[in-house]
Amino acid sequence: MSRFKGLLQASLSATKRALAWNMDDLMPPAERFIFNFNSKEELPRWHLYSDSEYGGLSSASLEISDGGNGLRGIFSGNLSLDVTEGSKWNISRSGFCGMRSKQFDGFIDLEGYDIIALKVKGDGRSYISTIYTENWVNSPGQSEDNSWQTFVYVPKDNWYIAKIPVSRYMPTWRGNVIDANLEMNPARVVGMSLSVNAEGGVPGSTSGPGDFKLELDWIKALRTEF
């Protein structure tokens, strides 16, 4: 009888260890690099956009430069509220620029991560962080990726790690928050972007037309809930 109890106890202990190992094995790492701006090979992964595509006069650039402590990305340019005279585009607003990652080869799975972290050095403006997820509707006229956005205030002149809860990202349609009961699918992320508007943003942040500059070290996903 004692031998049976010993065998049963050993079996239960082994099962518990196996279950614990399997659970740990299934959990993603505590952090995951999404973008790292420490190499010029990062540049082809992004494309720039601005109101200039619609008759505006804003401009932007993205480069990888050595700031003395290693390479980092520099997203910079000028925000203008003016519109090209005689433009065929009837735009309702101007004064925006952005950098969007080119679509991933498939998608990346951020399931299990609850924070998007960005190591940045800015100019006191508010920037918009966007996560694009695969469109689950796929109906006619609705082929665009789903987009989720939130403001990121970047203090001026000092490196800063902005930690944004994934739950703070709101569903948007072409820059406007939509009133819909939608839930992000973090397992099907197809891209990200950072953008800046001349107007709006977090109260107290720099706004208005003029130059902007955002330096980037990396963008990561963090898992803080265990």
Across the chain, what does the average pLDDT equal? 84
Range with lowest mean pLDDT among 14-18, 140-144, 192-196 = 14-18
C-alpha–C-alpha distance, residues 24 and 66, integer Å: 39
How does pLDDT run across 165-176, given as a tens digit for each residue?
999 999 987 767
The pLDDT of residue 90: 65
* Cβ-Cβ contacts under 8 Å for 98 (sequence gap 6 or more): 48, 49, 50, 60, 128, 193, 194, 195, 196
Nearest C-alpha neighbor of 80 from the set 176, 208, 222:
208
Q: Inform me whether the pLDDT recorded for 25 exceeds 60.
A: no
Nearest-angstrom CA–CA distance, 161 and 210: 25
Name the residue type at position 217: D
188 vs 85, higher pLDDT: 188
Within 10 angstroms of residue 158's Cβ, the number of other Cβ atoms is: 9
What does the pLDDT read at residue 165? 96
| pLDDT of 58 over the 90 cut | yes
- How far is residue 188 from each of residues 104, 134, 145, 172, 222, measured CA to CA in Å? 10, 6, 10, 17, 17
Enumerate the H helices of the chain as residue ranges: 2-26
- The CB density around residue 93, as the number of other CB atoms within 10 Å, is 15
* pLDDT at residue 220 is higher than 60: yes
Report the candidate in 195, 202, 156 with the shortest Cα–Cα distance to residue 174: 195
Tens of pLDDT, residues 110-152 = 999 999 999 999 999 999 999 999 876 544 455 678 899 999 9
| Structural domains of the chain in order of their starting residue, each with its CATH number | 31-222 (2.60.120.430)
